[in-house]
Structures are given as structure tokens and as C-alpha cells.
Amino acid sequence: MITEKDSKLEIFKDEALIHMDALYNSALKLTYNEDDSRDLVQETFYKAYRFFDQFNHGTNCKAWLYRILKNTLINKYRKKSNSVKHVDFNTVEPFLDTIVDKQTYSETFDENDYKYSVSDEVDAALSRLPFNFRMVLVLSDIEGFSYKEIADIMGCPVGTIRSRLSRARKLMHRYLQAYARKNGYIGEEDSEFAMIDTGENPV
């Protein structure tokens, strides 16, 4: 006999758990710590399952998960806030084994899968971006979300997203100037990257 809980679990697997790898890869780019990334993704899915009844089915589940991840990251890792309520693990117990099975990153994840997805120089430049800039860059240029979807995830106007993304890309250009010259992407005479004024402290 299929219970309501079983039905919820099956839908959650089909709509949410399929995005676990993407969220973990993004979490790595935001935290640069494997343990923090695992914790962040796990708590994201705990919360997502707990409040899955509030998800508007038929809309973008991946964007909904990223919004939860962003809020969790800000509260737990950036603000070090104690305001985040502890998850009721009894609520999510039915799919704990499923998450363990799906967590290939925790058992078989090869660091090279992440390290060499972008060059070391690009990765280092990304890590230097302020959090809000790095987040929109990851969501746009790596995950492929639209401006509107990113605005919904970040909880701010589309215009703000456009501005942050523009500044993030300019900062990346600035940080990667030496790398671009070394690899022949720009010539020694090119100086436009060095002259960019983002209005932000690059450090």
C-alpha cells in the first residue's frame, strides 16, 4: 500500500534529488571546503523535504533548491547565525538512505573532478570575488539560470543582478589579466582589463 509519505518521497526523488550533484558543485565554489559543502547540501535537502508541501509543483525546483541553499549558506556559514532551527530528522528519515546512496561526492568524489573543471587560475580568481558577486556568477555562468531566476533566488531586483554580474565579470577579467597574457589570450599592449573601475574593493 502506497502511503501519502511514500508518494511525497517518490516525487521528491524525481524533482529534487536529481539536482544534488549540481548543488554540491556550486556549494564547493561558494565555500571552498568539502566538509562545509556536504553539510550545506545535506541541510538544504533536509529543509527542502521538510517544506516540500510548500513547493509549487510545475515551477523550477532547481531554482527553489538554490534559494534554500543560499539562505542556509548566509545564515549558517556567513553570518554564523544561531537563528536557524534544527532540522527534525524524524521528518526526513524516509529518504536519509536515499541521500547516502546518492552522495557519490562523499565517498567517491575525486577532487580532480572539481579542480580541473576550471583552471587553477580561474578557480582562484572566483574564490576572490565577494560572496554576492560569486553567487550570481556561479548561478548565471555555471548553472545557466536566467536573470529572473537568479533574482528570485537572491531575493533582489533583476537590475541588481545585472549590475552584480557585470561587476563580477569585470573583476574576473582584472584578476585573470596576467593569466590571459601568459596564455596568449591578450597581448602585452592590452591594458583595458587593468583600467576597469568596478567601484568595489577587489579583495
Buried b (16+ CB within 10 A) or exposed e, 60-91: ebbbbbbbbbbbbbeebbeeeeeeeeeeeeee
Q: Which residue ranges form the domains of the chain, and what is each CATH number?
A: 1-116 (1.10.1740.10), 118-203 (1.10.10.10)
| Range of lowest pLDDT (22-36, 91-105, 130-144) | 91-105
Residue 86 DSSP one-character state: P
Average pLDDT over all residues of the chain: 75
Look up the pTM and report it.
0.68
Rounded to an integer, what distance in angstroms lies between the CA atom of residue 73 and that of residue 23?
Answer: 12
Query: What pLDDT was estimated at residue 61?
Result: 95
Q: Quick one: pLDDT at residue 31?
A: 86
Give pLDDT tens digits for 6-39. Answer: 688 889 999 999 999 999 999 988 888 898 899 9
Output the pLDDT for position 110: 40
SS3 159: helix
pLDDT of residue 188: 55
C-alpha span between 145 and 136 (Å, rounded) = 9
